[in-house]
Amino acid sequence: MEVCFIVDFGSQYTQLIARKLRELGVRSEVFSPKLSLEEIEKRKPLGLILSGGPSSTTDKDAPALSFHLEDLKIPVLGICYGMQWMVQDMGGVVAQGKSREYGVEKIIVSGGKLFQGVNSLNVLMSHGDHAEKLPASFIEVARSQNDVVAAIEHKTRALFGLQFHPEVHHTEAGADILRKFLVACRFRFDWKAEHIFEEMTKTLKAQIGNSRVLCALSGGVDSAVVALILNKLFPGQIDCLCVDTGLLRKNELKNLIDLFDRKFHFPIQTIDASEEFLKALEKVVDPEVKRKTIGRLFIEVFERESKKLKNIQFLAQGTLYPDVIESMSFHGGPSVMIKSHHNVGGLPERLPFKLVEPLRDLFKDEARRLGEYLGLPHEFVWRHPFPGPGLAIRVMGDVTRDRLSILREADERLQEVLREAGIYEKLWQSFCVYLPIQSVGVMGDQRTYEDLIAVRCVHSEDGMTANIAAIPLEVLEKISSRIINEVKGVNRVVYDISSKPPATIEWE
């Protein structure tokens, strides 16, 4: 399969580069600067992208490749720090600029293969250093209004440098610039769902063979896609196990069981551990203690129940590529540890199973498209993200059965109104939060003193940052009306208007 390598020099946008390439139909993989020339020659990528980063190329310990670009025979695109490293490596000079450029700036284009038909662009800049003197083999093809070199190109080779970030939505024609680079690499743009599944099938067949697999189902999209893939490829070899923590959304477990039983005809084993979880969460109000309590108990229940199954050799999880990337230090390379919010974090170290992660090369949207390609219903596949600890971190304070019930009913009304208004799929995430605050209200001729529900709706690309969703007032009014009128115990609804940062998306 054709692939483009991305070297991560520590940019906050490295994942975004990888995602943009995938969206354009090209498989991408992220590496630390320790990537060797031997690895490149072995894997034969068609192109290489050098990311931005927080360092200065003039620093003593600045991150750098272990080889020179003169020794590389494939096209290379340097972005921000990546361009500065390219300039320095090829014999040019990088220096601290008199004026730094942070934010959207206008650049004037004078030529270049990546800018055909373009005279000027508004682009996102984020740098203090600049290319003071270009290598003799390069030409300038764009300059900012602050008189800083904004783009360069090798005179004879497919080597390109951009002082701005084409991967962010702030940059005009950024996707087109990346596409032109990929064309120069001679990609066929064939990273599609059907090709992903074909490659995945070969890998899994070789890995699993005739072995039995335990698939951990959380109720979310990722683990459901994994279950579907494995049952299609290995019918009769898969045991799907779902632990009911009592912290899922309304009817979530029932809908999951009905879906797989009715449409795909394979059973899911469920373990009702809700009493254990709710008892363990009694009087627990600290968010971190909640998370750790839920994680610890989940492992205990899963470990206990999995021992009842026979001849299990593999544990399947819904790990995604961002989990892999974020466990990587751009100085130190891949870490030995997956993030704590991993699907069933901690389990591989404690259970006598080998790990199988069919989605570990995919981003969230790719996993969703693959699920849809394999037959999962559109409305299930494109549901909003749901946190691993479930509704426990959407109930502020003490988690009780009554509070969970109120929250479930309120959240169901929110989702129904958003879908009816055609807004749901335009949002990254939407949910309700239960606040242990009572306020005065009036219902009929009587005074009430009841609970408060907060509504949260945001736009985001990857959850790293988020903007407030401007929900029309008439829709907000309908949300409030339905929750207050239909959910007993609630007399006030508020709308969260905080962006991330400074707030997080979830409240706990």
pLDDT tens digits, residue range 403-425?
Answer: 999 999 999 999 999 999 999 99
Q: Is the pLDDT of residue 481 over 90?
A: yes
Q: Is the pLDDT of residue 60 over 60?
A: yes
Confidence of residue 260 (pLDDT cuts 50, 70, 90): confident
Confidence of residue 333 (pLDDT cuts 50, 70, 90): very low
Q: Is the pLDDT of residue 331 over 80?
A: no
**What is the residue-averaged pLDDT of the chain?**
88
How are strands ordered across the β-sheet holding 76-79?
Answer: 28-31, 4-7, 47-50, 76-79, 159-162, 149-154, 138-144, 93-109, 120-133
**167 an active-site residue?**
yes
**Contact predicate 163/150, CB 8 Å:** yes
Catalytic residue among 4, 80, 240, 432: 80
Closest CA to 495 of 474, 480, 478: 480
What is the mean predicted confidence (pLDDT) over 4-12? 91
Q: Which stretch of DSSP H or E encloses residue 259? A: helix 252-259
Catalytic residue among 127, 130, 154, 165: 165
Q: Is the pLDDT of residue 154 over 60?
A: yes
**165 an active-site residue?**
yes
Quick one: pLDDT at residue 385? Answer: 85
The helix/strand count (H/E) of the chain reads as 15, 20
Closest CA to 18 of 376, 415, 364, 449: 364
Spatial distance between the Cα atoms of 400 and 275, rounded to a whole number of angstroms: 11
**80 an active-site residue?**
yes
Q: Is the pLDDT of residue 183 over 50?
A: yes
What is the mean predicted confidence (pLDDT) over 54-73? 90
Token pair listed for 129: 């250093």
Give pLDDT tens digits for 310-325. 888 888 888 887 777 6
In angstroms, how far apart are the furthest CA atoms of the chain? 84
**Contact predicate 500/465, CB 8 Å:** yes
Q: Is 396 helix (H, G, I), strand (E, B) or coil?
A: coil
Facing residues of 50 across strands? Answer: 7, 78
Quick one: pLDDT at residue 155? Answer: 95
Quick one: pLDDT at residue 305? Answer: 82
Q: Is the peptide bond before 54 cis (omega within 30 degrees of 0)?
A: no
Q: Is the pLDDT of residue 493 over 60?
A: yes
Q: Is the peptide bond before 501 cis (omega within 30 degrees of 0)?
A: yes
Catalytic residue among 2, 101, 167, 409: 167
